[in-house]
Amino acid sequence: MTDVARSPELITVIVDGRPVQVPVGTLVWDACEKAGVFVPVYCAHKKLDPVAVCRMCLVEIGTLPKLQPACATVASDGMEVRTRTEKVREFREGNLEFLLLNHPLDCPVCDRGGECDLQDFALRYGPGRTRRAITTKVHFNKAVRLSDKIVLDQERCILCWRCTRYYDEVTGEKELVLQERGVHTVVAPFEGRPLQSMFQGNLPEVCPVGALTHAQYRFRARPWDLRRTPSVCPGCSYGCNLNIDTRETEVVRFASSDKPEVDDGWLCDRGRYGSGDLNRADRVRSPEVRLGGPGRSMAYSEAIEAAATALASVISEHGRERVAVLGTPLMTNEEAFVLQWLAREVIGTPHVDHQLLPWTDLSPAEFSLGIEEIEACDAILVVGEQAEATAPVLTLRLYKAERKSGRRVSRVPGDIEAGEAARRIAGASRVGVISHERDRGLAAQVAAIAVASGASVGRLTITVGVNGRGCKDLGLLPNYRPGYVATAEVGLHGRGILEGCQSGEIRALLAVGPNPAVEAGADLDRACAAVQLLIAITPVRDAFWRHAGVVLPGRTIAEKAGTVTSSEGRVQTVRIAVHPNIAVPSEVGLLAGLGACLGAARPAPTAPAAVLEEIRTAVPSYAATAGGLRAAWGKLR
């Protein structure tokens, strides 16, 4: 305590009689929060610059005669803040009367009902009765379709400016602006042009009322009927945290969850509105064995045994090296780890991968730059368009680095000459090089030039799929064992495996689906049809399901427990948000069972938590990742 008091950066603010210590430059609003005093706000937002327009946060400060906006006033040492005085109470009541004056009374049909700050504060601080004798409200347009994703109700808008500031400060796109003036002011796009942004889904979340709503979620649920599960966005490998809101067995929506180091509170529309994929109707519901005959539904244990028997006979007939194992970047770390164990330790094949392209010349440097560290680089070079196209939220971080920290961001095409690309970052002492894994070769060259010129260089490589990074870290690769330990023998990579299926070199394939990384770039169907034995674990009726001799139902990411590793190496937890069928074993369980039937020397654990313990023992860089920390392979030099 005495140490803290002596620190020159801390000041003491007294909030409602309670002293609290905050750093110099802290806003009164934040000081109140730190003191545990809630101050209602509409316009203020943690991620946006203060504007003090809603006035809801006015409080008494010291001896100042006027009430002051807590959201925009910088605290000073010894400042006395009072939030519970009669003056503040009266003003809050009056201000809510103002805000409700032209607000429609349509809470019963408003999507926001139940999670609306206007409703909540009106109840808590509002007048509780109307005294308007006025019959003429100012009317505006309702249910304006701003795009296929967003609906705007101009009447419900309380003009807090959050959406326009979001578009100005966070995305820089300025698609929504304030138009007209005074009580006729509205939020609107230019001449009704549909919104184009990749980040529209954040609008209803910054909106404190029911003015901006999701078209997808319109009239679908009430917040009190939803169950919320914190998880990780399955859309890509960037690692945005989110909440999966479910109603019974249906995923109703994804809501953002602020992880400042990663997503900074934002989601992209592809990730957010991809939630519908988790409600696909074409699910694989029960195990099925079709070996040499018509498909038969079976119990799990029987299906696993049938699969093991068929696999064993291929091995004894053709040898272990004629078996291949293909995972998917949608697997959890635990699944990936058990799958590579099954391939290497039980089946004994080197042919194991999770994606199409070979992953060679790995250097820890390509994962050295954390997302948060982007803002600390003097210059940032984005190589190729694929990184931002794959992980759109990266674009927001780059814009923030430019706007808030004044960093230089350059974008170069993926086919540029390395020397020319390097010229864009010449002279900077701390450099960030960002690319998609497809462009990692060029990114490595550029980084090497920058290092040679004396710059300290960090690289961020965007991997495929939600857990492409984890699959690589944990050895679901033909050339690396867990922890990037090179294998003695290099097996076939994804494309080689599929070609082998067609040529007959591979006789049996154990595949986990769905695999977007593979489906996108190969004639998967032909390979699956050609291979002698296909054992598939998949939640949906994909190519694996169509051609498999044995099918075991898999789970979607919303039904899994475990961890996934983002591109920057952050090991984050996914939790079970929906239970489609409690009888379905986890993939980890299925794989362990398969291993046992194949006569594994040592049984694999079947609980994800136990697998994670094994991973932490086997892969030192995963030892200290609990709580969503980064697995560090190399630091910014």
Partner 1 sequence: MLPALWAVQDQFGYLPSAAVAAVAEELELVPSEVAAVSSFYSMYFSHKPGQHFVQVCRNVSCALRGADGILAHLGRVLGVEDGATTADGLFTLEGTVECLGGCGGAPMMQVDRYSYEDLTPDRCDNIIAALRAAPPVEPGRDGGPGGRS
Partner 2 sequence: MADDLVLTRLVGRPGVTTLEGYERVGGYLGLRKAVTLTPEQIIDEVKSSGLRGRGGAGFPTGTKWSFLPRDVFPRYLCVNADESEPGCFKDRYLIDELPHQLLEGVLIAAFTLRVSHAFIYIRGEYRAQRELLDRCVAEAYEAGLAGRGILGTEWDCEVIVHGGAGAYICGEETALIDSLEGLRGQPRLKPPFPAIRGLYGSPTVVNNVETLSNLPFIVLEGGAAYAQRGTAASPGTRVFCVSGHVERPGNYEVPMGTTTFRDLLQKAGGVWKGRALKAMQPGGGSMQILGPQHLDVPLDFKAVADAGSSLGAGALVVMDQTTCLVDVAKRLVDFYHHESCGKCAPCREGTYFESQLMHRLEAGIASESELATLSDICANMDGRCFCPLGDTATWFVMSAYRMFPDEFLAHCGAGRCPVRAARPAAA
Name the token pair of 10.
Answer: 């801390």
Nearer to partner 2 by Cβ, of 24 and 101: the residue is: 101
**Residue 102 contacts which entry, partner 2, partner 1, none (Cβ below 5-8 A, type-dependent):** partner 2
Task: Establish how many alpha carbons lie within 13 A of residue 129's alpha carbon, considering only the half-sphere containing its beta carbon.
Answer: 2
Shortest distance (Å) from residue 146 CB to partner 1: 12
Q: Which residue from 5, 109, 133, 281 is in contact with partner 2, where contact means CB under 8 A? A: 133
Q: Which stretch binds partner 1 (CB under 8 A): 189-197, 286-294, 357-365, 423-431?
A: 189-197
**Residue 52 contacts which entry, partner 1, partner 2, none (Cβ below 5-8 A, type-dependent):** partner 2
* Interface with partner 1, residue 175, by CB under 8 A: yes
Shortest distance (Å) from residue 100 CB to partner 2: 9
Site residues for partner 2, window 75-94 (CB under 8 A)? 90-91, 94
C-alpha to C-alpha distance for 11 and 595, rounded to whole angstroms: 61
Nearer to partner 2 by Cβ, of 6 and 181: the residue is: 181
Backbone angles phi, psi at 337, to 5 degrees: -65, -45
Contact flags string 547-566 toward partner 2, x per CB under 8 A: --------------------
Site residues for partner 1, window 296-335 (CB under 8 A)? none
* Interface with partner 1, residue 190, by CB under 8 A: yes
* Interface with partner 1, residue 171, by CB under 8 A: no
* Interface with partner 1, residue 183, by CB under 8 A: no
Q: Which stretch binds partner 1 (CB under 8 A): 145-153, 179-187, 282-290, 450-458?
A: 179-187
* Interface with partner 1, residue 177, by CB under 8 A: yes
Q: Which residue from 21, 102, 328, 567 is in contact with partner 2, where contact means CB under 8 A? A: 102
As a three-state string, the secondary structure of 533-562 is: EEEEEECECCHHHHHCCEEEECCCHHHCCE
C-alpha to C-alpha distance for 540 and 546, rounded to whole angstroms: 10
* Interface with partner 1, residue 152, by CB under 8 A: no
Q: Which of 430, 454, 320 is nearest to 375 (CA)?
A: 430
* Interface with partner 1, residue 402, by CB under 8 A: no
* Interface with partner 1, residue 173, by CB under 8 A: yes
C-alpha to C-alpha distance for 349 and 323, rounded to whole angstroms: 6
Site residues for partner 2, window 153-212 (CB under 8 A)? 158-159, 178, 180-185
DSSP conformation letters of 43-72: S--TTS-----S-TTEEEETT-SS-EETTT
Q: Which stretch binds partner 1 (CB under 8 A): 89-97, 150-158, 178-186, 197-205?
A: 178-186
Q: Which of 21, 282, 49, 247 is nearest to 164 (CA)?
A: 49
* Interface with partner 2, residue 98, by CB under 8 A: yes
- Which strand (E) or helix (H) includes residue 251? strand 250-256
* Interface with partner 1, residue 403, by CB under 8 A: no
User: Alpha helices of 35-182 — where are they, by DSSP H?
Assistant: 86-101, 117-125, 162-165
Edge-to-edge strands, sheet with 150-152: 144-145, 150-152, 212-214
* Interface with partner 1, residue 261, by CB under 8 A: no
> Are the CB atoms for 120 and 104 separated by under 8 Å?
no
* Interface with partner 1, residue 189, by CB under 8 A: yes
Q: Which residue from 59, 176, 242, 331 is in contact with partner 1, where contact means CB under 8 A? A: 176
Nearer to partner 2 by Cβ, of 67 and 374: the residue is: 67
C-alpha to C-alpha distance for 369 and 373, rounded to whole angstroms: 6
**Residue 175 contacts which entry, partner 2, partner 1, none (Cβ below 5-8 A, type-dependent):** partner 1
Site residues for partner 2, window 15-74 (CB under 8 A)? 50-56, 58, 65-67, 72
**Residue 173 contacts which entry, partner 1, partner 2, none (Cβ below 5-8 A, type-dependent):** partner 1
C-alpha to C-alpha distance for 326 and 298, rounded to whole angstroms: 24
C-alpha to C-alpha distance for 349 and 254, rounded to whole angstroms: 40
Task: Establish how many alpha carbons lie within 13 A of residue 86's alpha carbon, considering only the half-sphere containing its beta carbon.
Answer: 0
C-alpha to C-alpha distance for 318 and 532, rounded to whole angstroms: 11
* Interface with partner 1, residue 98, by CB under 8 A: no
How many residues bind partner 1, per CB under 8 A?
14
C-alpha to C-alpha distance for 19 and 32, rounded to whole angstroms: 10
Buried/exposed code over 513-523 (b: 16+ C-beta within 10 A; e: otherwise)? bbbbbbbeebe
Shortest distance (Å) from residue 159 CB to partner 2: 7
- Which strand (E) or helix (H) includes residue 334? helix 333-341
- The site for partner 1 (CB under 8 A) is made up of 173-181, 188-191, 193
- The site for partner 2 (CB under 8 A) is made up of 50-56, 58, 65-67, 72, 90-91, 94-95, 97-99, 101-102, 131-134, 136, 138, 158-159, 178, 180-185
